Amino acid sequence: MAIESQPKWEAKVRKKLNKHKAEEVWPFLEDFCSFNKWLPSIDTCYKVEGVPGRPGLVRYCAATLPPPPPDGDGGGETIKWCHEKLLAIDPIKKCLSYEVLDNNMGFQSYKSTMEVLPSMESDDDQKGCLIEWSFLADPIEGLRFEDMVAYLDSSLQGMIDNIERALENK
């Protein structure tokens, strides 16, 4: 079966922050061009064009992958990059959506939404919130759907850890 005829991949991962309210966490995601500060696998993230906080803003994100083991092909470091465009941002609902415009990672079509939600576990204690990260994408050649979801899940956990650490150090 050709990859073009496969159904789109769609998934959602969700992680909880135990000590911080959605209002405290949202500013970290709202700054669309600071992804490298929170997502462990991203080295670089900066504005390419557009107005910060407004739909149409385009960012460049990149990650440096280490060289393959010595018994591999002997190549050096690899830079994986993408240009992403902010499609929508809503500070009241604490969500944003973006799409990949161009990349060298195999994405043909990728749209994603990140949302900070209040925790529903306890009405008495308003501490805690959730970050939900969803995507809709064409299948990526050489990658299994399960691996993509696992990557997103572990990336979100790393992001949560970094945001919690930043809030604790405030």
Half-sphere exposure of 21 (CA within 13 A, CB side): 6
Which two tokens mark 117?
Answer: 């939600």
Looking at per-residue pLDDT, the higher value among 119 and 11 belongs to 11
Coil, helix or strand at residue 103: strand
113: burial class by Cβ within 10 Å (0-12, 13-18, 19+)? middle
Q: What is the pLDDT of residues 21-71, one digit of tens each?
A: 999 999 999 999 999 999 988 999 999 999 999 999 999 999 987 766 665
Mean pLDDT of 15-22: 92
Output the CA–CA distances (angstroms, integers) from residue 116 to 13, 42, 101, in the order listed.
12, 20, 24
Q: How confident is the model at residue 120 (pLDDT cuts 50, 70, 90)?
A: confident
CA distance 139 to 56: 25
Residues of the chain with pLDDT > 90: what percent?
A: 78
Distance CA 61, CA 7 (A): 27
pLDDT recorded at residue 1 = 45
